[in-house]
Amino acid sequence: MKHLFKIFAVALMAILFISCEKDEDQAILGDGTTPTLKADKTSVVLIKDNEANPAIKFDWTNPQFQTQVALKNTLQLAKTGTNFQSPGESIVTANDLKVTYTVAELNKLGLDAGLVPGVATTVEVRLKSEVGKTVLYSNVVTLTVTTYLTAYPSFYIVGDASAVGWNAGTSQLLYQKDNFSTIYTYLENGKYFRFLGQQDWNPLNYSLDVAGMNAGNRYFKTWSTNLAPSTPENIQFTGATGMYKIVIDADATQKSINVSASPIAVWNPANLYLVGTVNGWNSAAAIPMTNLGNGKFEHTIALPAASEFKFLGQLSWGDLDWGNISADGNTGYLGPKGSNGNIKFDGTGGNYKISVDLKMGTYKIQPL
């Protein structure tokens, strides 16, 4: 019994010693002084032709603690009156005590913060300094910034919630028109996905803008209720498994993603038929395609100039009707009945392989 008591006493003393050490460390660190920030301009008009030119310089002083510490400094820029809820952020090297942003760099910060291109906007800038769990903010610097419109980003879907899986090399690009990117595709309940800016894991990734998400992944300001953040990188799909229309609005004031049910829930019909100028638009005599499984079909056919066609899931003009997304054309993206047009293709009269992936929401026309 005495032996057990000694062991207990030693363990208790060790716990008290560690606790005292932590308290002592906190006492040595102290609360820290407030960092300061200043800028060399109060108004900046950004012009795309000058992207490589210096736009603005910031100088700061770091917070001082009772002992030397390693700081993580982040410059935050937000529209005035938003209380820095959705700022543009840039990590800066604490010991440099200054940073100069080029026109392109400051423009990105402004767009990330939701500034409308071409409109002079009052913004607030501050320095966020972190050491451990201690976070200190500098004074706020007020500026007027006019950003410019850059090219809208490309969005490639990847993840096990999608028809692609976790393969960046085969991630699927969404159809882009102006600031909108759209696709009718398959999503699986309870699984995860995100968007890439290229068919690679780097450098661009896009996910929901929430606390805990990697800084480089934070993009979408608003999203539909069937999406949830999965920190630190991904988005979880919480809707029922099936076909959905994904719409991304990349306008700097929006940065939204909406996922809604596709008008056609079927993605793996038993049959798919080709109808159009190739058969006189006779749905009852539509041309059967070869079923490859998992929503994929193909057919080889001679296509002359001014060919037009669509795909049917039955030998009639019924509900299973797919064509070019939104309107007549040849984008390579499928749209369901009510949201499509004819696929238009100028063939040479030679043979072409037409491939359809209903699950992915795409089609291809390849010469043989």
Per-residue pLDDT of the chain (368 residues; tens, 9 = 90+): 445 445 444 454 444 444 443 433 333 456 779 999 999 999 999 999 999 999 999 999 999 887 777 888 999 999 999 999 888 899 899 889 999 999 999 999 998 888 888 899 999 999 999 888 889 999 999 999 999 988 899 999 999 999 999 999 999 999 999 999 999 999 999 999 999 999 999 999 999 999 999 988 999 999 999 999 999 999 999 999 999 999 999 988 899 999 999 999 999 999 999 999 999 999 999 999 999 999 999 999 999 999 999 999 999 999 999 999 999 999 999 999 999 999 999 999 999 999 999 999 999 999 99
Regarding the domain delimited by 156-261, which CATH topology (the fold level of the hierarchy) does it fall under?
Answer: Immunoglobulin-like (2.60.40)
Distance CA 126, CA 83 (A): 11
The CATH number of 36-146, from 2.130.10.10, 3.30.465.10, 2.60.40.10, 2.60.120.260, is: 2.60.40.10
In what helix (H) or strand (E) does residue 20 lie, and over which residues does it extend?
helix 2-29
Specify whether the CB–CB gap between 171 and 199 falls below 8 A.
yes
Give the distance, in angstroms, between the CA of residue 172 and the centroid of all CA atoms in the same chain: 13
Print the SS3 string covering 65-120. Answer: CCCCCCCEEEEEEEECCCCCCCCEEEEECHHHCEEEEEHHHHHHHHHHCCCCCCCC
Q: What is the pTM of this model?
A: 0.74
Q: Where are the domains of the chain?
A: 36-146, 156-261, 273-367
Domain 36-146 shares a fold with domain 156-261: yes
Tokens representing residue 327 in the block? 């309107």
Residue 152's nearest CA partner among 45, 248, 257, 47 is 248
Number of H helices, E strands in the chain: 2, 32
Distance CA 231, CA 61 (A): 32
Distance CA 250, CA 158 (A): 18
Burial label for 321, CB within 10 Å (0-12, 13-18, 19+), is buried
Distance CA 267, CA 330 (A): 21
Half-sphere exposure in the Cβ direction for 186 (13 Å, CA)? 19
- Whether domain 273-367 has CATH 2.60.40.3620: the reply is yes
Specify whether the CB–CB gap between 364 and 223 falls below 8 A.
no
Distance CA 336, CA 312 (A): 10
Residue 334's nearest CA partner among 187, 188, 174, 152 is 174
Q: Taking the CB of residue 268, how many other CB atoms lie within 10 A of it?
A: 14
